[in-house]
Chain A
Amino acid sequence: ETGVTQSPTHLIKTRGQQVTLRCSSQSGHNTVSWYQQALGQGPQFIFQYYREEENGRGNFPPRFSGLQFPNYSSELNVNALELDDSALYLCASSLYAGGTYEQYFGPGTRLTVT
Chain B
Amino acid sequence: RKEVEQDPGPFNVPEGATVAFNCTYSNSASQSFFWYRQDCRKEPKLLMSVYSSGNEDGRFTAQLNRASQYISLLIRDSKLSDSATYLCVVNGGSQGNLIFGKGTKLSVKP
Q: Which residues of A pack against B, CB within 8 Å?
A: 2, 31, 33, 35, 40-45, 48, 50, 55-58, 88, 90, 92, 97-108, 110
Interface residues of B (CB under 8 A from A): 4, 31-32, 34, 41-46, 49, 87, 91-103
Among B45, B87, B97, contact of A33 (Cβ-Cβ < 8 Å): B97
13 contacts between A and B (CB under 8 A): A42-B87, A42-B100, A48-B97, A58-B95, A92-B98, A101-B32, A102-B34, A102-B49, A103-B46, A105-B44, A105-B45, A107-B43, A110-B41
Set of chain B residues within 8 Å of A110, measured between Cβ atoms: 41
Query: Contacts of A43 on B, CB cut-off 8 Å?
Result: 44, 98, 100
Q: Are B96 and A48 in contact (CB under 8 A)?
A: yes
Asked whether B87 lies within 8 Å of A99 as measured between CB atoms, the reply is no
Cβ–Cβ contact B49 & A98, under 8 A = no
Chain B residues, Cβ within 8 Å of A40? 102
Chain A residues near B92 (CB-CB < 8 A): 45, 99
Q: Which residue on chain B has the smallest CB distance to residue A40?
A: B102
Chain A residues within an 8 Å CB radius of B97: 33, 45, 48, 56, 58, 99
Task: With both chains docked as a complex, state the minimum distance between the C-beta of A61 and any C-beta of chain B, in angstroms.
Answer: 17
Question: How far, in Å, is B26 (CB) from chain A's closest CB?
Answer: 14
A/B pair count, beta carbons within 8 Å = 72
Q: With A90-B44, A99-B32 in contact, is A42–B102 under 8 Å at CB? A: yes
CA distance A43 to B89 in the complex (A): 10
Contact of B102 among A2, A41, A98 (CB under 8 A): A41
- Complex: how many Å from CA A43 to CA B36? 11
Question: Do residues B46 and A56 form an inter-chain contact, with CB atoms below 8 A?
Answer: no
Q: A42-B87, A99-B32 are in contact. Are A108 and B96 (CB under 8 A)?
A: no
- B102:A33 contact, CB within 8 angstroms: no
Q: How far is the CA of A45 from the CA of B89 in the complex (A)?
A: 12
Which of A2, A55, A103, A106 meets B95, CB within 8 Å? A55
Closest chain B residue to A107, Cβ basis: B43
